[in-house]
Chain A
Amino acid sequence: MNKKWASILLIIIGSLTFTGCKKYLDLEPKNSTYDQVFWVNGSNVQKALSGSYSMLRSAFQQDRSYFVFGDIAADNFALGGDFWNYTSFIQTGNFNFGYAPYLEPSLWNWSRFYSVINQCHLIIENTPKIPSDKFSGGEAQQRQLEGEARFLRAYVYFYMQRVWGDVILTTESLKDPQDVPSLPRATEDEIFSFIVADLEKSIELLGSTGNKAVANKGAGQALLAHVHAWNHDYEQAEKFASDLISSSQYELEAIDDYTKIWNGNSKESIFELNMLFDAVSNEATAGFFNVFLTEPFIRNKGLNSTWSLSDFVTDQLFDQEEARFDEVVETGSGGTRYILTKYSGVDYYDANNPDTYVVSNNLVLLRLADIILLRAEARFKNGDVAGALEDLNLIKERAGLEPFTEQGAALFHEIFDERRRELIGEGHAKFDMIRMEQLSRLFPDAYSQARIAAKGYHWPLHMRQLLPQAPLLTQNEWWKSH
């Protein structure tokens, strides 16, 4: 073959391959967005923020851990037969949180909450770097988004701290995955000053929007009141509770409208997680609130798959006739036990599938009645008995109960009992018992002085899962030997 032709052919083919391939060696995904291109405008920040709410919602829903931590562990409910593996968490199981078959990933593992925290870190760090004109709502929206993220970060840390005790505190997002610092648990002081700083900043940044499914200024104030109360700094607690109450942004619902509280955006609600049904978005689920319900609310559902109110709650806690009880308690399937109907927005939305339903209610995390009772507690602790009685009786009045008049320890116990009645099935009772130091009074057998001293009211951590990733982590004192 002719040499010249051969070399021409060679050159042509060679150059074709070389020019063609360069652009195929630096390829970027077309099927997803990624870190380097994400933080560019307000719309993306909004999506990320929705992501954090959504992750928090899933975190609470997992194994219904929100209610396990708040209500089951406070013995508010009796467990149907299907919940055999929850039985050690109630009084008859001596509140033995160290035995949680199949529930270890949710009840002993806090990792999912750290995902929310990391997401908040990212938002807080990146939002101020984006020019304000990239936000459709301008600087106000920019401030609002950062404020929500700060609120949420504080909320999650505070929640974790109450469930598992001292957390590992990360204050910023991960910068270099290959140089992750080994962190031990932080001290209580560090954690709380971080939470308080976040919340104070969020109160500055947040506006007073009407939508309760996202954080606003009132949510910041309410949470700050709770944080201070938890630390028994009742003066600060009273201050922030009063700030919120006097802001007149929120009103108690009338007793006839009591169940509206859980139907979304009520006057009384301060902050809630959206789980309402609508035809497009699939935010409502069946498998969360349905645990409280039987027939006739949900077809073919019996007490076996239900948490009904515990005997103590129906017989002793609700010891007087009241309108509130009638609003949110019914007899369950079979008529033998009482069930809670705060979350009874059952919707059989699909005509084709008679068994497909969702429970369309919101999970209310903070509401006015809670803050009023918290202020009653704070006022009592601050020596303002009259103020405490005033707040307490505001709630009693709405419930259709006689005003309370006693003082001293009886008043304090009554404030506690009223909280337990008012907020039953809302994930508060266990934390109230810890904060108001009621555990050894109520459950002297399970909560010995030694257990209280070792903070045995916190939940154990899943060391097999967590320790390999965080060698400095320690198990909670009580669960090292129980």
Chain B
Amino acid sequence: MNMTKCFTFFLLLFYISTANAQQVSITGIVRDSEGAIPGVTVSEKGGKAYPVQTDIDGQYRITVNNPESTTLVFSFIGYVKQEQRVGSRTSINVVLEADLAALDEVVVVGYQQQSVRKTTSSVQIVSGAQIENLPAPSFESLLQGRVSGINIQNFTGEPGARNTFTVRGNTTISPDLNSEIDLANTMSSPLYIIDGMPVSVNDLSGSSATGTNYIAGINVNDIESIVVQKDAAATAVWGSRGANGVIVIKTKSGATGKPTVRLSYYTGATQRPELQRTVAGAQERRQKIGLINEYGSFAQLSNIPQVLTDSLNPSFNNATDWQDLFYSTGRVSNYDVNIAAGNDIINYRLSLNYYDEDGIVRNTGFSRYSLRGNFDFKLFPAAKTNLIVAASRMDRKRGLGRGVDEIVPISATSMPASFVRLTDADYDFYYGQYDKLRDDNQTDAVSIFSQTDIDVYKGIKYSLQASAQATMDRRDQFQPTEIATNGTSFSSGDRYDLYTYNLTNILSYGKTLAENHTFALTGMQSFEYNNHKNTYVLGYNLPTDDIEVVQGIAQRDLRGYTDFREAGLLSFLGQLAYDYKARYMFNASWRADVSSRFGKDTKWGFFPALSASWIASDEAFLKDIAWLDLLKFRGSWGESGTLPQDFYAPFNVWDLPTSTYDGNTVATPSFSKPLTLPNLTWNKSSQINLGADLFLFDSRLNVMVDVYRKETKDPIMAFDFPFYTGYSSLSYNVPMTILNEGVDLQISTRNLSGTSVLQWTTNLNLSYNKNRIGSLPNGDRSFYADSRGYNQQLLYTVGSPIYRWAQMNYQGVYNHQDQIPVNAVTGNPVTYFKGNYPVKPGFPIWQDVNADWDVWSDSDKGAADGDLVPTGDPNPRFTGGLYNEFSYKNFSLSVLGTFTFKRDIINTYMSNQFNGVWNFGGINNFANQRLPDYSEINYWSPSKAQDPEFSADFPSLSPYGPNYYQFLPFSTLWNENGDYFKIKTISLGYRINDESLQRLGMGLNQVRLYAIADNIYTFQSSSVPDAELVTPQGEYSGGAYPLPRKFTFGVEVTF
């Protein structure tokens, strides 16, 4: 995109609209009870004059055209907005009152608007300003540490990929982690309501060729506010899909007044973080030879691989850190232009955005073009309508385009030794894997939303919402022969077209009776239709490498299919809000949903919710306590649900694969989609929430606390099914419960008095969540599942959290023969691996749980548990963030820290490296593969063990065996503490003061300069490079995309 052209266009617009008239200047001072306030915005109501801000002495000067009919508005965060009619005055001094400003903000709960003060549910608002200009493709990751009750973990740093975002605990059990392509799907994710349009990322991610995060299509700087709705009172009104939380996003709308143009630009660098510590060159050689000498017998030492002994050979005397080959420093830039203006009849806001981020891995990155227009029209005095049009294009470069654990061309766990020489041809081959591959991932999204409101009769209002969303998602790939490991070139095209239409009728009625009783009643009926289409073609063995598309391919090498899926959802909702004296609030809602995704007679779901709140501080007995601004108690109960991702969940479909038998078409019941039942129905979550809000000392200390218990019942999932039926799993409403219980705490403080020039606010978010399985089918029988990569077992048992591991218990090392237990009956020492390995000194101590004198993960004597015990829990107990913001005169500084505590992680990367070298390798692998640095590990060796006092911290590292998979993570050897505290974002801003701008002329209104550093430092105890960069199941595989560090510098100009 040519930015200069856009810029000129907006400048032009701007100059056209600034033809001037006669002017009068009005001056004055703005104070509060303690003194002058700098930075108060003074604007003209109706908006013809440029808004100005008070200076350090609280003084302002504003120029208006027609003082007789002008009203000035004085506004500042933390104070009650004040209006003053100008009349004949030329000097107006005002005193602002401190206010619980946040409480006047309006949140949309279902189809009703409520003030935060009056709301009965647990909601939290993040204003767009808090996340503006932060260098990330999409807003969700920016909410990390800013909202309590949500857990965001970035398990990949790949730009444009989706990370986990769970609200109040995970309720999803992925039936097969090894077939899951997008790990974000293994955790529950909330429903997004973007400008009134429900967006299910689950549905979208299930129908995506590119895997690009749909939410990344929204320009972060277009967001006005994000409302996180957590409890059932808020989510039940979204009924069918609200069970995992609802995130309501409102984009900025037009303003009344003359055009305001805002330009914003930032750019910066993305940098790779620290990689695993390794040794290279001569040091690696010394280490390896040293180890061989420690363990080798005379015969073995006579036969050391040449790569180790021949240090003068130029092929073997290099020092390449292979990890480093594929990383680079990238650049991130963002361009934003927007213009807003309007009058009484129409107002609008238009915005253009271009975001571009280079990944830190070669040939990865993300770019977005987006265009958004928000228009409001006043039709009659009693009717108004708005129109929101948004279009975006996302391009994502995916590097090798392989799975999440394969971002570099050589397996991360078996990289060559550092002294192997790389020829130019090697470089060509490795870099060619990135550079010669064509992998276009393009997502186009268009959405149109319109709402028309009509005041029908005395408080009765009718609204019609209509929206259409279209997403065109397309991936084209081409791999030439030269970089194909098996010599097979291929090209493919994969396209998904997703359409969603919504039509909603809303009728509402509001009335206040006898001054004290306020009612609001809303009835809603809506219909949503989803349509997903897919076309896929793939061809192997392209005729030449010049053809990069599927053409001229032999029939045999051609694959192709199309797909079509559709779903409908009809909903009805009744909502009642009642309050008495704005002090006792009661809300109720009842929603009914009918979805085509369920069985013929089980389509209906009903979702009730009740909630109440009490503003105790308004009671007479508390009213006089000066320092108590607000004390409010809230309570709610309600039910909400989730929709299955599968549009045809209740159908037992048949597979008609392309393979044949004896030339005949084959049909079998689908085994990829499990057996199902025709009576599939809604799975529901019921949630109880108790909360309190406490605002003290003129809102200088605000505390919001919520306690909740969420019970998810009968989730639709694939469950093991008796094999003798011929089916391996049955997908049904499994009669089980998943419990999430926890506390959300938010404390915000203004640490210095309002008069201080230096302002300092602190915000602490803390979420505690305990996830556990409440009951299981078949009489609460526990069951095992495979972890990703089959490293350890996952154990599902009542009382345990989802994705808990079951492992053998590693308890140290047998240092000496006399420590090894001997079976008194047989006289034999304890054995490992089904009797195949009698334990010797240097072996790890594995706990013999079933006391059968053999330790192994699946001892198969009828006792399925063998020697496994439940161990690590990858679900974090505590998550949150600490945010500090300082402002001094024109400077501002903010620091965000995020944290996660009480989480177990497992270093499968280290495990796989040790396993690859010592368990499978033998001496040649040992010589040829890169080693993890073991120099500081106190491992067992025969010479050290001659000291009777010797005590090893790690088992024997003999390259000569014995090998019984001792380094695989089925024992707790690699479990680590996953706690971390991360200094996530530091941002420093400077606002150029108005006087210098006025001297400059040019019509500049505000200029702000800022610098941001992102992902700065992590405090952690684990040995993985970044304790956040682990899968939702807690594994660090070493192959994941690292979280980059970003440094940006930006400027923002308002005319």
Interface string of B769-805 (1 = CB under 8 A from A): 0000000001001011000000000000000000000
A464 engages B677 (CB within 8 Å):
no
Q: Which of A27, A282, A353, A480 contacts B861 (CB 8 A)?
A: A480
Please, which residues of chain B bring their CB within 8 A of the CB of A178? 677, 732
- Nearest opposing residue in chain A for B726, CB measure: A118
In the complex, what residue of chain B is closest to A174 when comparing beta carbons? B725
| Contact between B667 and A470, CB atoms less than 8 A apart | no
A119 and B570 contacting across the interface, CB-CB below 8 Å: no
- A159 nearest CB across to chain B (Å): 15
Contact: A463 with B864, CB < 8 Å? yes
A3 within 8 A of B: yes
B456 to chain A minimum Cβ distance, whole angstroms, is: 5
Among B564, B568, B595, B860, the residue within 8 A (CB) of A30 is B564
**B interface footprint on A172-200 (CB within 8 Å = 1, 0 otherwise):** 01100110101100000000000000000
Say yes or no: A110 contacts B723, CB within 8 Å.
Answer: yes
Tell whether, in the assembled complex, residue A282 and residue B659 are in contact, meaning their CB atoms are under 8 Å apart. Answer: yes
Chain B contacts for A170, CB-based, 8 A: 724-726
Determine how close the nearest CB of chain B comes to the CB of A305; give it in whole angstroms: 16
Say if the beta carbon of A40 comes within 8 Å of chain B: no
Q: Is the CB of B652 within 8 A of A464?
A: no
A192 to B568, CA, bound (A): 52
Interface string of A350-390 (1 = CB under 8 A from B): 10111110000000000000000000000000000000000
B105 sits at the interface (CB 8 A): no
A10, A17, A281, A470: the one within 8 Å of B660 (CB): A281
Given contacts A174-B725, A480-B861, contact A25 B596 (CB under 8 A): yes
Docked CA distance A87–B862 (Å) = 24
On chain B, the residues within 8 Å of A110 by CB distance are 723
When the two chains form their complex, are residues B648 and A280 in contact, meaning their CB atoms are under 8 A apart? Answer: no
**Contacts A6-B456, A26-B596, A283-B659 hold; do A21 and B527 have CB atoms under 8 A apart?**
yes
Q: Which listed residue (A50, A111, A460, A480) contacts B661, Cβ 8 A?
A: A50
- By a CB distance below 8 angstroms, the chain B residues around A33 are 653-654, 656, 667
Contact between chains at A34 and B652 (CB < 8 Å): yes
B564 near A25: Cβ-Cβ < 8 Å: no
Contact A468 B675 (CB under 8 A): no
Question: Which residues does chain B contribute within 8 Å of A173, judged by CB atoms?
Answer: 726
CB distance from A92 to the nearest CB of B (A): 14
Instruction: Give Cα A29 to B487, complex, Å.
Output: 39
B729 (CB) vs chain A CBs: closest residue: A469
* Cβ contact within 8 Å between B669 and A168: no
Query: Do residues B781 and A468 form an inter-chain contact, with CB atoms below 8 A?
Result: yes
A47 located at the interface, meaning its Cβ lies under 8 Å from any Cβ of chain B in the complex: yes
B726:A115 contact, CB within 8 angstroms: yes
- Name the interface residues of A131-161: CB closer than 8 Å to any CB of B: none
Q: Take A13-B505, A32-B653, A468-B781 as given contacts and tell me if A55 and B727 are in contact as well, using a CB distance cutoff of 8 Å.
A: no
User: In the assembled complex, which residues on chain A have CB atoms less than 8 Å from the CB atom of B668?
Assistant: 48, 51-52, 54-55, 115, 119
Instruction: Give bound CA distance, A174 to B729, whole Å.
Output: 13
Residues of B within 8 A of A3 (CB): 456-457
* B652/A35 in contact, CB under 8 A: yes
From A29, A30, A109, A463, give the contact of B862 (CB < 8 A).
Answer: A463
Q: Which residues of A contact B659 (CB under 8 A)?
A: 54, 281-283
B639-667 vs A, CB cutoff 8 Å, 1 = contact: the mask equals 00000000110011111101111111111
| Chain B interface size, under 10 / 10 to 19 / 20 to 34 / 35 or more | 35 or more
Complex Cα distance, B600 from A173, in Å, reads 23
**Chain A residues within 8 Å of chain B by Cβ, number:** 92
* Beta-carbon nearest neighbor of B487 in chain A: A353
List the A residue with the shortest CB-CB distance to B735: A178
A118-B784 CB under 8 A given contacts A1-B380, A29-B651: no
Among A114, A350, A352, find the residue whose CB has the most chain B CB atoms closer than 10 A: A352
A467 near B527 with CB under 8 A, answer no
A168 to B659, alpha carbons, bound, how many Å?
30
Check if B455 sits within 8 Å of A1, measured CB to CB. Answer: yes
How far does the Cβ of B648 sit from chain A's closest Cβ, in whole Å?
4
Interface residues of A in 198-241 (CB under 8 A from B): 211, 213-214
Residue B525 contacts which of A17, A98, A115, A469 (CB distance < 8 angstroms)? A17
Q: Is B565 close to A, CB under 8 A?
A: yes
Contact A119 B722 (CB under 8 A): no
Instruction: Decide if B721 is an interface residue (CB 8 Å cutoff).
Output: yes
B894 at the interface (CB under 8 A from A): no
For residue A99, which residues in chain B have a CB less than 8 angstroms away from its CB? 834, 836
Neighbouring A residues of B555 by C-beta, 8 Å? 279-280
Q: Decide yes or no whether A117 CB sits under 8 A from chain B.
A: yes
Closest Cβ of chain A to B264, distance in Å, is 40
Q: Give the interface centre of B456, B860, B866 by most chain A CB atoms within 10 Å.
A: B860
Q: Are B505 and A24 in contact (CB under 8 A)?
A: no
A residues near B335, Cβ cutoff 8 Å: none
CB–CB A469/B723 < 8 A:
yes
Report if B73 contacts A (CB, 8 A).
no
- Does B321 sit within 8 A of A, measured CB to CB? no
- Judge whether A325 is part of the interface by a CB distance below 8 angstroms: no
CA distance A119 to B726 in the complex (A): 8
Interface assignment of B382: CB less than 8 Å from any CB of chain A: yes
Q: Are B726 and A117 in contact (CB under 8 A)?
A: yes
A27 pairs with B652, CB closer than 8 A:
no
A274 interface residue, CB < 8 Å from B? yes
In angstroms, Cα B670 to Cα A31, docked, is 13
Q: Tell me, yes or no, whether A298 is within 8 Å of chain B by CB.
A: no
Q: Say which residue of A14, A30, A38, A118 sits within 8 Å of B727 (CB atoms).
A: A118
Residue A57 interfacial (CB < 8 Å): yes
B721 touches A213 (CB 8 A): no
Which residues of B have CB within 8 Å of A17? 503, 505, 525-527
A residues sitting closer than 8 Å to B (CB atoms) are 1, 3, 6-7, 9-10, 13-14, 16-17, 20-21, 24-36, 38, 44, 46-48, 50-55, 57, 98-99, 104, 108-111, 114-119, 121-122, 168, 170, 173-174, 177-178, 180, 182-183, 211, 213-214, 274, 278-283, 350, 352-356, 460, 462-464, 466-471, 474-475, 479-481
**Could you write out 30 A-B pairs with CB less than 8 Å apart?**
A1-B380, A6-B454, A10-B462, A10-B507, A13-B503, A21-B527, A21-B568, A29-B647, A31-B564, A32-B656, A34-B652, A35-B651, A38-B667, A54-B666, A104-B858, A115-B726, A115-B727, A116-B726, A177-B677, A279-B556, A355-B487, A460-B860, A463-B864, A464-B860, A467-B862, A468-B720, A468-B778, A468-B783, A470-B722, A470-B724
Report, nearest first, the 6 A-B pairs whose CB atoms are least far apart.
A118-B726, A24-B568, A47-B667, A111-B723, A51-B668, A32-B653
- Partner-A contacts on B (CB < 8 A): 380, 382-383, 454-457, 462, 464, 486-488, 503, 505, 507, 525-527, 529, 541, 555-556, 563-568, 570, 594-596, 600, 603, 647-648, 651-656, 658-671, 675, 677, 720-728, 730, 732, 778, 781, 783-784, 834, 836, 858, 860-862, 864, 866
